[in-house]
Amino acid sequence: MALTASTYGKARVRVMRLTREGDRHTPRELTLSVMMRGAFDAAWTQADNRACVATDSVKNIVNVVAAQNLSLGTEAFAQAVAALFLDTYPQIEEMTIEARETRWRRHAIAGAPHDHTFTLDGNGFGIVRLVARRDGSVLQSGVEGFTFMKTTQSGWSDFVDDRYRTLPDATDRIAATAMDALWTWSTMPADCEAANARVLDTLLATFGGSYSFGVQDSMYRMGEAALASVPEIAQIRFAMPNKHYIPIDLTPFGLENGAAVFLPTDEPHGQIEATISREK
């Protein structure tokens, strides 16, 4: 039998970096998956662990890089972790690092941002994915579970009408989603944090600023706008599940529902995915 693929490492490595600039603090909390590919097949096929880096050491390396790089943004931090592995262990051919950011929002007290008080930003997570080899790397940034909606200017109509269809046409409905979006950098921007914020602002402005003929329609135009706004992005990948709001029938109670009372549900939900690139 052949071992056709293998990888190993450490998942759910959690680390908080705290930058202290006098009384002003900045927390950076990450949950990482750090996976290695390379000359490790003998551990599977011959019970030979001599080339293996212990997964406990993987966790320790993340902590050491954190201590040495308190202020790095998530993208640069992932690159620093990958570089240490590739520089230290010749048996490693490829590192795949995924970092999920727990975002802390600086709280305002008496109208002023406070130096060391924060609240949890509950809308999704920032994510970074890096695949690094000695001959190059692919770096992606994005958001996971970022939830938004608009309460008008959205429809879904003129779809296949056959004996299986029960859904009526809609020209004015609530459109909502918990979006996963991942964009691939062709070159690194001067400021990843600012560029990521610009992408997200562009996506929301496009979604909210025009009529949507469906999630597919909005998704494509959102991708086009993000690529136009941030030239360092090569492509953007979306997964946008529908969060449905179904009008409730109030006629048994002698009431009219003027598109005001809904049943929120996301099971089952429509799942719409696409990648928009600069080149076909």
Instruction: Please name the residues in contact with 147: beta carbons below 8 A apart, sequence gap of 6 or more.
Output: 123, 124, 176, 177, 178, 179, 243
Alpha carbon distance 121, 144 (integer Å): 13
Residue 254 has pLDDT above 70, yes or no: yes
Q: What is the average pLDDT value for the chain, to the nearest integer?
A: 97
Whether 37 has a pLDDT exceeding 90, the answer reads yes
279: confidence class by pLDDT, cuts 50, 70, 90: confident
Q: What is the pLDDT of residue 280?
A: 66
Per cent of the chain over pLDDT 70 is 100
Give the separation between CA 203 and CA 220, rounded to whole angstroms: 10
Answer yes or no: is pLDDT of 131 > 90.
yes
pLDDT digits (tens, 9 = 90+) for 63-118: 999 999 999 999 999 999 999 999 999 999 999 999 999 999 999 999 999 999 99
Residues with catalytic function: 10, 55, 244
The whole-number pLDDT of residue 269 equals 94
Q: What is the share, in percent, of the chain residues with pLDDT greater than 90?
A: 98
Q: Residue 85's pLDDT is what?
A: 98
190-226 confidence digits (pLDDT tens): 999 999 999 999 999 999 999 999 999 999 999 999 9
pLDDT in tens, 160-180: 999 999 999 999 999 999 999
pLDDT of amino acid 110? 96
Per-residue exposure over 82-99, b if at least 16 CB sit within 10 Å of its own CB, e if not: bebbbeebeebebbbbbb
For residues 51 and 90, is the Cβ–Cβ distance under 8 A? no
The helix or strand, by DSSP H or E, that contains position 4, with its residue range, turns out to be: none
| pLDDT for 43 | 98
Tokens of residue 60, six digits: 């320790």
State mean pLDDT over 4-15. Answer: 98
